[in-house]
């Protein structure tokens, strides 16, 4: 969730000492590279990597879905624009080149009642020229509206081969909603105290990023500074057991799991930090602390042979005193 530094200061948000943003440090062998800025945004919110390696990014300050090429020589392209909304949050792919995006109108840290919707973006027949001209536009359609949504934020598919259902975190209500993208039907399937907002001392953002691996739902709670998991039914989406804490994560936003589900890389929003969690051991370490990770908010795995051991990070940079969204690549010396 993109939060301006001024809001941190206004609320007196205190970061723990391990998350100081002034130092540039990295784990041995890890390199960070800025890929490209995205004009028209003050920061990036979420991202999804296409099978061809192109990266789709959303922004909390824009109703436009952008595509960023891993090649720094190519400028970002507009993929789709969503009418009637001003902000985009979560994005997930359910079929090859068929993505779903959350759009809403924000006021402070809550959505305007009735403004939240889930949109389908079909890129299978779309085409954009190298100069950014749309030859065949993406097919964009509204799946459903959510009249009572608080702050729909993170999103993932319910199960690995499920092309019909997504899970969405409501950071305001502290709940998880299941949506059938074929029918538009939705229901709240998880409401747990570990997902809720419990303190007024920290920002009122509960469950944030979420991802499913096998029959476990992993999630970050920004307000409670925790990374946790809960076993779920892959048919109903409901919890089948208690929540288990995995690590303390300050200002944790969104994250990605390793392909085998044993590690997580979490973007800490504000401290300019990328944290790696060893899930079986319940340990964590900072693998990157750099100004390249300004307002880091989400992480995704590379999908081609050239970036198989790389992560893409949604972040920002400062250009002439103004923040602008920036995609950053982190190359690791070990398998992800």
Q: What is the pLDDT of residues 194-252, one digit of tens each?
A: 999 999 888 999 999 999 999 999 999 999 999 999 999 999 999 999 999 999 999 99
> H or E stretch including 211?
strand 207-213
For residue 303, what pLDDT band results from cuts at 50, 70 and 90? very high
For the cut 50, the answer to whether the pLDDT of residue 19 exceeds it is no
Mean pLDDT along residues 128-151 = 90
* Numbers of helices and strands, H then E, in the chain: 1, 29
- Asked whether residue 336 is assigned to any structural domain, the reply reads no
For the cut 70, the answer to whether the pLDDT of residue 111 exceeds it is yes
For the CA atoms of 132, 137, 138, 142, what is the dihedral angle to 10 degrees?
A: 120
- Asked whether residue 118 is assigned to any structural domain, the reply reads yes
- Asked whether residue 35 is assigned to any structural domain, the reply reads yes
- Asked whether residue 288 is assigned to any structural domain, the reply reads yes
- Asked whether residue 276 is assigned to any structural domain, the reply reads yes
Task: Calculate what percentage of the chain has a pLDDT beyond 90.
Answer: 83
Instruction: Check residue 27 and give its pLDDT.
Output: 81
For residue 167, what pLDDT band results from cuts at 50, 70 and 90? very high
Domain residues for the domain of 63 are: 5-331
CB distance 74 to 130 below 8 Å? yes
CB distance 291 to 24 below 8 Å? yes
First and final C-alpha spacing in the chain: 24
Q: Which carries the bigger pLDDT value, residue 17 or residue 217?
A: 217
**Which CATH number characterizes residue 324's domain?**
2.120.10.30
- Asked whether residue 104 is assigned to any structural domain, the reply reads yes
Angle at 104 (CA atoms; ends 220, 163), nearest 5 degrees: 65
Q: Is 39 helix (H, G, I), strand (E, B) or coil?
A: coil
Domain tally, the chain = 1
CA distance 193 to 206: 10
Quickly tell me which residue has 């909390």 as its tokens.
60
- Asked whether residue 17 is assigned to any structural domain, the reply reads yes
Mean pLDDT along residues 259-273 = 96
Q: What is the pLDDT of residues 57-79, one digit of tens each?
A: 999 999 999 999 998 778 899 99
Q: Is 321 helix (H, G, I), strand (E, B) or coil?
A: coil
Give φ, ψ of 311 to 5 degrees.
Answer: -115, 145
Instruction: Check residue 270 and give its pLDDT.
Output: 87
- Asked whether residue 249 is assigned to any structural domain, the reply reads yes
For the cut 70, the answer to whether the pLDDT of residue 25 exceeds it is no
């Amino acid at each position: 969730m993109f939060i301006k530094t001024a809001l941190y200061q206004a609320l007196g948000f205190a970061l723990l000492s391990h998350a100081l943003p002034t130092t540039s440090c990295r784990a041995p062998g890890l390199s960070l590279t800025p890929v490209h800025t995205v004009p028209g945004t003050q920061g990036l919110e979420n991202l999804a990597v296409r099978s061809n390696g192109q990266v789709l990014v959303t922004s909390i300050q824009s109703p436009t879905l952008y595509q960023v090429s891993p090649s720094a020589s190519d400028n970002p392209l507009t993929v789709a624009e969503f009418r009637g909304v001003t902000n985009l949050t979560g994005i997930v792919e359910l079929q090859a080149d068929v993505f779903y995006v959350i759009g809403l109108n924000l006021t402070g840290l809550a959505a305007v009642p009735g403004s939240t919707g889930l949109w389908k973006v079909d890129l299978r027949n779309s085409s954009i020229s190298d100069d950014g001209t749309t030859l065949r536009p993406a097919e964009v359609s509204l799946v459903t509206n959510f009249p009572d949504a608080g702050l729909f934020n993170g999103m993932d598919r319910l199960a690995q081969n499920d092309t019909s259902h997504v899970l969405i975190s409501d950071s305001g209500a502290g709940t998880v909603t299941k949506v059938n993208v074929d029918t538009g039907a939705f229901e709240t399937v998880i409401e747990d105290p570990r997902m809720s907002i419990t303190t007024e001392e920290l920002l009122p953002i509960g469950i944030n990023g979420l991802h499913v691996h096998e029959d476990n739902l992993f999630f970050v709670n920004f307000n409670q500074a925790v990374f946790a998991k809960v076993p779920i039914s892959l048919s109903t989406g409901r919890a089948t057991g208690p929540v288990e804490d995995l690590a303390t994560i300050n200002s944790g936003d969104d994250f990605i799991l390793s392909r085998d589900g044993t590690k997580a890389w979490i973007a800490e929003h504000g401290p300019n930090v990328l944290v790696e969690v060893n899930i079986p051991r319940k340990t964590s370490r900072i693998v990157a602390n750099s100004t390249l990770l300004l307002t880091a908010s989400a992480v995704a795995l590379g999908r081609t042979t050239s970036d198989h051991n790389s992560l893409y990070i949604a972040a920002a940079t400062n250009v002439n005193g103004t923040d602008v969204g920036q995609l950053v690549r982190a190359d690791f010396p070990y398998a992800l």
